[in-house]
Structure 1
Amino acid sequence: MDARSIREAAPGDLPFLPALEEASDTLLGAAAGMRSAPADLPPAATLPEFAAARGLLVAGWPPVGFARLEELDGQAHLEQLSVHPDAAGAGLGRALVEAALDWARKQGYVSMTLCTFRDVPFNAPFYASCGFDVVPAPDGELAELRQHEISVGMDSLGRRVAMRAPLRR
């Protein structure tokens, strides 16, 4: 599956996304860089949260991957990237990130941020290969998001980091 098969989500896609997110989270269970099991992750987004997303891209039918996009500090924010374990390792995550970056460019954003696990190979190192750099001292809404992640125990699962990619036209 490539970027051409990624599309904006339709209402019929939404019921599949919470279970897809939960399945994707199981990939963290055996991942290097994690201190705790994925069962300790916050619950998957709800249908109303998916429906209210600023942007939502999906791949496949039923969806086997998605990118949930929000806005922070007036810029695009990749809130969640999920790929079903059965579809992992085939480039779908990269295609979704590329589609998300393209979506953000078309919306007129100049950068995209995200928060992820620093030491999980298919998290921060993967995003770095997609053009994201670590934000050493987040501020504004990105800093607030990091504080929220800390307060709900995300950093106890593994070291977290904020990242940003500039969007070149």
Structure 2
Amino acid sequence: MRTVCLCIFLLLLARAAAEDIARREIRDRIWAGILAAGLLCWGLGAAPAGCGREGLDLADRLAGLLCGSLPLAVVCCLLPGAFGGGDIKLGGAGGFFLGWRAVLAAGALAILSAGAVTAALLLSGKVSRRATVPFGPFLCLGMAAAWFWGEELALWYVGR
């Protein structure tokens, strides 16, 4: 069942990234699908790599929902337009799917990769400083990587 959950998750992430690139929008049905897949995985006991046999409990998943969405929402309130509503909802749904430790790693990977690509685009002259770059694809990339290595990255970061 873990493989089924992973396939659903990766397909929905790919769809979210493609929509954000093409339309600069992540539709509600995508993040809702990820949230539903997270509920299914919780019910089946499927969890990201590194979680052990017991998987993630509901508290880990709810904390992940908050850790995935709240920081983006706060930044969006402080810097209007920094993130879209779809990014915030996708972060929350992905956090519920991955749990709080893995979604923190996903967020760090997303910010680092978005920063690197944006810097490269600016330095190459392909975009101006006023251009916007969709964050959804980077968030999706970070979440996909976090399924496989998020727990290990989080534990490495805190020194365990």
TM-score (norm 1): 0.29
More helix by share: 2
TM-score (norm 2): 0.30
